[in-house]
Structure 1
Amino acid sequence: MALETIELEDVAACVAAGRNPRPQGPYRVQVGNGDLTFDGYRIDDPVPTGRQLLDLVSARPAEEHLVFQLLRNGDLKELTLDETVDLRTAGVERFIVFKSAESYRIELDGQVKEWGACVISGRVLKQLASAADKPDYGVWMEIRGAEDRPIDDNELVKLDGKGLERFFTGATTSTEGAEAPILPMRDRQYLEGRGLTFVEYREGAQTGVILRDYCLPDGKYQVAQADILILLPRGYPDAAPDMFYAQPWLTLALSSRYPRQADQPLIFNGQRWQRWSRHNSDWRPGTDGIWTMLKRVETALEIAA
């Protein structure tokens, strides 16, 4: 009697279809390398160990290799040799194997990820950020205190330097002759994520960002919205912004007067701005950014008297 042939259950296809794989094998799993090139492999065990996954691709000795689980949302989870993964669980996507004895940590679009090699390409970074199919997107490496560095698709970035390397993806601009952006990529992504309209300005030695039609606390001032100017010091984001500025000048709705310490002018971009003297002494280089300054602005506008 002929033996029954059992069809392989493709784990990646199940995830794409939004369903869990069947309870019993055999399964087809996708295993790739550091270039994110994947091939299909058969495995019968529904709960394999990291060592079993390395055996699938003949990655020996196992102690000199790393295996990562690549989840559908782009997150990477390292599996130790004896750690198991349940292929029947929703969200198990693919696996990546590296010939390496240690992993490296990177931050990509604000999320910390583990990577199994001491170099990574711009193309792989965009793939991990789910931006590989967006031709108008680029990837940048954050350079503290300087302009962010664009990373070409084929460029390799070393990850064995000191500290956590930070990368960001976003839409590229193709306007010929346009000036380099002033804000770090992380700041621009934060403002865009909040749906805020902003314009970056450079005037002589001064640089700043203007938030257009910024919503003010309800009923607090004579207007509901105003433009807010934040001047960026040399060395930002390691150096802290100090004060902020409003246009039009804001008066309190109940008293029709200027708030305390908000009655001096600043000329910028051909306009006369209202200076809000609110100093900042608790800035954390490498951690704080435009989101920190905006929280200070929001608090100052809320409690002004």
Structure 2
Amino acid sequence: MAGTRYDISRGFVAGAAIYNLADIDPARQHLLLELADDRDIPLRHDDYIVINGRERFSVADGPQPADDNPCLRKPLSPTINEQELPADRALHQSKLSFEQLAALDPDFESGDGVFVELKDVPDAQVIPGMRVLVQADDRFYTSPCGNVGFETKLDADLGLMRERHGDIECIDEGTRRLVIVRGQELPAHWNRRSTDILLQVPQGYPLAALDMFWVTPGLALADGRQPQNADQLETFAGRTWQRFSWHYPPGHRWNPATDGLLSHLRFARVRLGQAH
């Protein structure tokens, strides 16, 4: 991007992680995956992509175009269940949903999973609601997922949040789960004693990273100054929220094994502990 090389772990990566790495605001600019001898493909903030280390991106001004999944000049033939897609079934668009990936396997059955086969790192699961920007050398397979009877990580994390913070509200809105933590106490450098904090849990959590946080509007510093990067108002769950554009630094990669709702709430409180 603009001739700059960035280091990121290989594997199945959320577009949001690449936007954060390059410090790009998706409301103002968007990323394009550069393809040799073909159209560049817009990568949305909420898309997923397999990063092998050879990818090149460019930056375009403005938010994502409405047509973000253009027809390719050269159809793609990724591998599914050890078989490369034949020419008569090759992909004419590079972005596929979970359902479209599942349909590549004629023997796919309800309850089966779709997985990304990766080298030298654990394979990743494609979860319903995800959209994947597929590249020619990507490898996928399908397999029964089984049922071990455990609660999901999100359920477990919400249980811990309620134990530690009490008044938690969860709202499903589209593909996101909105988690509202009420009455969080604030340091003295703010203009009020407490605030509600909104966290947005994307589809695919915990593989998909949390980003930013939102508070009850009107939060300012005690001396009247407006906090940095917190001047945007957005509406979720029928309420207006004040957004803090607070992102993980380049040296910190979201780790689904250790990061989660609780760690992201602590991350938000670190920002609220700063008087700027």
* TM-score for the superposition, normalised by structure 2: 0.43
Q: Bigger relative contact order, structure 1 or 2, given CA contacts below 8 A and separation 6+?
A: 2
Give the structure with higher Rg (CA).
1
* TM-score for the superposition, normalised by structure 1: 0.39
